[in-house]
Amino acid sequence: QALLTPEDAVLSDELNHASIIDGIRLCKANKYRYKHMDMQDLEAKLKEAQKHRLRLVATDGAFSMDGDIAPLREICQLAQKYDALVFIDECHATGFLGPNGRGTDELLGVMDKVTIINSTLGKALGGAAGEGVF
């Protein structure tokens, strides 16, 4: 809600965690939902969303219910092609994935292409660390 206006668009993987979905519902931006990890559908939605001022692709890095890892390389390539920002929720990846535990963006080599990283820091790093956006 604090990031996007009614002039903007958010494109969300249909299997994103409920907390992401709730945040998107509160947001005034135009909402697009793409099929789970379907890059052809994401590209079609990005084409539709070109009329909006900003476009933000939102995805879990690691999907907790089935263990899928988001295809971040492809997401970042499409975001670059369509001038979109990338948001990843790393709550289920921080401390677990990547050579240094930084998450899926480190694992897949796209740390410099992701705009916003969200993580609770409470799964692998202990419950007392709280929540953070990097």
C-alpha span between 38 and 6 (Å, rounded): 26
Q: Which domain range does residue 95 map to? A: 8-118
CB atoms within 10 A of CB 70: 25
Task: Answer yes or no: are the C-beta atoms of 58 and 79 closer than 8 Å.
Answer: no
From the candidates 12, 45, 52, 92, which is the catalytic residue?
92
- Angle ∠(100,39,74) on CA atoms, nearest 5: 35
From the candidates 17, 35, 113, 123, which is the catalytic residue?
123
Mean pLDDT score of the chain, rounded to an integer?
90
Assigned domain for 1 exists: no
Q: What one-character DSSP code corresponds to residue 62?
A: B
What is the pTM assigned to this prediction? 0.89
Assigned domain for 41 exists: yes
Residue 16: which of 79, 77, 66 has the closest Cα? 66
Between 125 and 94, where is the model more confident? Answer: 94
Assigned domain for 20 exists: yes
- pLDDT of 133 higher than 70: no
What domain count does the chain have?
A: 1
Q: What is the CATH number of the domain that holds 102?
A: 3.40.640.10
The model's confidence at residue 123, banded by pLDDT at 50, 70 and 90, is low
From the candidates 17, 35, 64, 113, which is the catalytic residue?
64
Percentage of the residues of the chain whose pLDDT score is greater than 70 = 90
Task: Answer yes or no: are the C-beta atoms of 125 and 97 closer than 8 Å.
Answer: no
Residue 133: which of 120, 125, 122, 124 has the closest Cα? 120
Assigned domain for 28 exists: yes
Between 72 and 1, where is the model more confident? Answer: 72
pLDDT in tens, 75-119: 999 999 999 999 999 888 887 899 998 999 999 999 999 999 998
Active site annotation includes 64: yes
The model's confidence at residue 121, banded by pLDDT at 50, 70 and 90, is low
pLDDT in tens, 27-40: 999 999 999 999 99
